[in-house]
């Protein structure tokens, strides 16, 4: 088992990575905790080692359950059970579960401790780390949320064994992203080292810019188009699949803006292909709809901000030329 620390002063916390590391969970329960509320989904099927007074709270599946209604139901069930601020919540599942559980924990009784136990590759390399929590609104993804750092993140790679193929691809969509954010070339790495390398990059970025006032935005590489495509396709497109298309798109925008050359575009394609990811959506994209969704994206402040590759690496760039954004969509349809 390896441990990586997220350095955030008194809110620092460990990320454990390895086979069978779930057994360590009770070490991170606060002394004061009498109850452990485990938020999960029926199909996850991972058991938390017994100890304190545990209760399981199942939530629905799919992006439609990632809603404020789910959060309210959870909080009401916690009140019923008598959960207090000195107790602890565990988010056990994929990114959707840890986002919802940690959001509910962050507002329940003005905030109680949470431990994230991601059971998907995507959760381990991204969603469960860094304290972003949130739910969707009918108007778009992740539009309500908080920054609420967990007490620990436990990435037990044994929980990945039954991960469906599509979920692996989703995780690899995020893994591919780290190739452009300073990670070592992970193409020859095994699973645990890949997870560790991604987490190293992510934790350094979070430690530098916890609240996304600057640098942290690079973690959204490929995500602006991805969020729009997920929303436009009623979430039938999985997040990691959308991110892969979004990364190829971001490379094209950077190319058309003269920020990168053809070789670098080819490198993007090689990385995505290495992880078996599709770079095209396979159907036409409603240009007007998608560009209006870009504007609604929470990263847009003054025009359309895109995270783009270039001479200085990947960085947020304000794009004024809508024609480039539309033209680049052609390569990913
Ligand atoms: N998933 C992007 C971030 O944590 O900032």
Give domain status of residue 265, yes or no: yes
**Do 70 and 149 belong to one domain?**
yes
Atom nearest to 212 CA in ligand 1: 5
DSSP string, 204-238: HHHHH-TT-SSGGGGGGTTHHHHHHHHHHTTT-S-
Question: Which residue's alpha carbon is at the smallest distance from atom 3 of ligand 1?
Answer: 219
Q: What is the distance in A from the centroid of ligand 1 to the CA of 50?
A: 31
Give domain status of residue 233, yes or no: yes
Q: Is the CB of 177 under 6 A from ligand 1?
A: no
**Do 153 and 7 belong to one domain?**
yes
Q: How far apart are CA 270 and CA 115, in angstroms?
A: 36
What is the domain extent for residue 303? 215-332
Helix H or strand E segment including 289: helix 287-296
Backbone angles phi, psi at 139, to 5 degrees: -80, -10
Give domain status of residue 176, yes or no: no
Atom nearest to 131 CA in ligand 1: 4
Nearest CA-CA partner of 96 in 74, 67, 72, 73:
67
Q: What is the distance in A from the centroid of ligand 1 to the CA of 211?
A: 10
Q: What is the distance in A from the centroid of ligand 1 to the CA of 2?
A: 22
Q: What is the distance in A from the centroid of ligand 1 to the CA of 149?
A: 12
Give domain status of residue 207, yes or no: no
Mean of pLDDT over the chain:
93
Question: Which residue's alpha carbon is at the smallest distance from atom 2 of ligand 1?
Answer: 219
Q: What is the distance in A from the centroid of ligand 1 to the CA of 220?
A: 6
**Do 257 and 153 belong to one domain?**
no
> Buried b vs exposed e over 282-291: b needs ≥16 C-beta within 10 Å?
eeebeeeebb
Of 163, 179, 200, the domain-final residue: 163
Q: Is the CB of 169 under 6 A from ligand 1?
A: no
Average the pLDDT over 37-41 and give the result.
98
User: In the chain, helix, strand, coil percent, each to 5?
Assistant: 45, 20, 35
Q: What is the distance in A from the centroid of ligand 1 to the CA of 215?
A: 11
Query: Is 288 a residue whose pLDDT tops 90?
Result: no
**Do 19 and 159 belong to one domain?**
yes
Nearest CA-CA partner of 52 in 77, 74, 27:
27
Give domain status of residue 202, yes or no: no
Q: What is the distance in A from the centroid of ligand 1 to the CA of 80?
A: 33
Tokens of 26: 């009770």
Query: At 302, which CATH number?
Result: 1.20.1090.10
Instruction: Give the pLDDT confidence of 160-209 residue by residue, as tens digits.
Output: 998 999 999 999 999 999 999 999 999 999 999 999 999 999 999 999 99
Tokens of 123: 């959760």
**Do 291 and 159 belong to one domain?**
no
Nearest CA-CA partner of 97 in 75, 69, 70, 79:
70
Question: Which residue's alpha carbon is at the smallest distance from atom 5 of ligand 1?
Answer: 219
Atom nearest to 217 CA in ligand 1: 5
Q: Which of 125, 127, 217 to mutate to test the pocket of ligand 1 (most atoms within 8 A of CB)?
A: 127
Tokens of 201: 């990059």
Instruction: Give the pLDDT confidence of 222-251 residue by residue, as tens digits.
Output: 998 998 898 888 778 888 899 999 999 999
pLDDT reported for residue 38: 98
Residues 6+ apart with CB under 8 A from 318: 302, 303, 304, 305
**Do 124 and 35 belong to one domain?**
yes
Give domain status of residue 174, yes or no: no
Query: At 122, which CATH number?
Result: 3.40.50.1970
**Do 230 and 156 belong to one domain?**
no
Backbone angles phi, psi at 161, to 5 degrees: -60, -35
Backbone angles phi, psi at 178, to 5 degrees: -65, -20
pTM: 0.94
Count of other CB atoms within 10 angstroms of residue 139: 9
Name the band, by pLDDT with cuts 50, 70 and 90, for residue 140: confident
Q: Is the CB of 126 under 6 A from ligand 1?
A: yes
CA dihedral in degrees (275, 242, 313, 147; nearest 10)?
-110
Give domain status of residue 208, yes or no: no
Nearest CA-CA partner of 176 in 235, 232, 117, 226:
226
Average the pLDDT over 11-24 and give the result.
96
Q: Is the CB of 132 under 6 A from ligand 1?
A: yes
**Do 157 and 230 belong to one domain?**
no
**Do 143 and 251 belong to one domain?**
no
DSSP string, 181-198: TT----TT--HHHHHHHH
pLDDT reported for residue 283: 83
Q: Is the CB of 216 under 6 A from ligand 1?
A: yes
**Do 125 and 263 belong to one domain?**
no
Strand order in the sheet with 35-40: 2-6, 13-18, 152-156, 113-118, 88-93, 35-40, 53-58
- Beta-strand pair 113-118/140-144: unpaired
Q: What is the distance in A from the centroid of ligand 1 to the CA of 37?
A: 25
Compute CA distances 103 → 74, 155, 239, whole Å.
Answer: 11, 19, 19
**Do 33 and 109 belong to one domain?**
yes
Contact between residue 218 and residue 316 where contact means Cβ atoms under 8 Å apart = yes
Give domain status of residue 313, yes or no: yes
Instruction: Give the pLDDT confidence of 87-120 residue by residue, as tens digits.
Output: 999 999 999 999 999 999 999 999 999 999 999 9
**Do 151 and 257 belong to one domain?**
no
The tally of domains found in the chain comes to 2
């Amino acid at each position: 088992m390896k441990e990586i620390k997220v350095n955030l002063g008194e809110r620092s916390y460990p990320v454990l990575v390895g086979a069978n590391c779930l057994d360590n969970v009770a070490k991170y329960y606060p002394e004061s905790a009498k109850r452990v509320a485990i938020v999960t989904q029926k199909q996850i099927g991972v058991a938390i080692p017994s100890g304190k007074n545990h209760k399981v709270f199942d939530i629905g599946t799919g992006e439609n359950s990632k809603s404020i209604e789910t959060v309210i139901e959870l909080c009401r069930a916690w009140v019923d059970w008598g959960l207090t601020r000195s107790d602890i919540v565990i988010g056990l599942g994929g990114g959707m579960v840890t986002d919802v559980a940690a959001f509910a924990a962050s507002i329940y009784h003005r905030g109680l401790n949470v431990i994230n136990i991601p059971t998907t590759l995507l959760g381990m390399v991204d969603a469960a780390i860094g304290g972003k929590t949130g739910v969707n609104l009918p108007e778009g993804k992740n539009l309500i949320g908080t920054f609420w750092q967990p007490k620990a993140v436990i990435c037990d790679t044994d929980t990945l064994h039954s991960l469906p193929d599509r979920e692996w691809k989703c995780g690899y969509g995020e893994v591919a992203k780290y190739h452009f954010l300073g990670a070592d070339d992970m193409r020859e790495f095994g699973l645990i080292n890949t997870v560790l390398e991604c987490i190293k990059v992510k934790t350094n970025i979070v430690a530098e810019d916890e609240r996304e006032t600057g640098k942290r935005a690079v973690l959204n590489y490929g995500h602006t188009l991805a969020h729009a495509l997920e929303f436009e396709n009623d979430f039938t497109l999985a997040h990691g699949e959308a991110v892969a298309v979004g990364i190829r798109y971001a490379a094209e925008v950077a190319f058309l803006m003269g920020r990168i050359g053809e070789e670098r575009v080819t490198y993007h394609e090689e990385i995505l292909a290495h992880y078996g990811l599709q770079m095209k959506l396979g159907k036409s994209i409603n240009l007007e709809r998608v560009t209006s969704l870009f504007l609604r994206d929470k990263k847009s402040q003054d025009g359309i901000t895109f995270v783009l590759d270039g001479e200085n690496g990947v960085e947020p760039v304000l794009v004024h030329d809508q024609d480039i954004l539309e033209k680049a969509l052609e390569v990913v349809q």
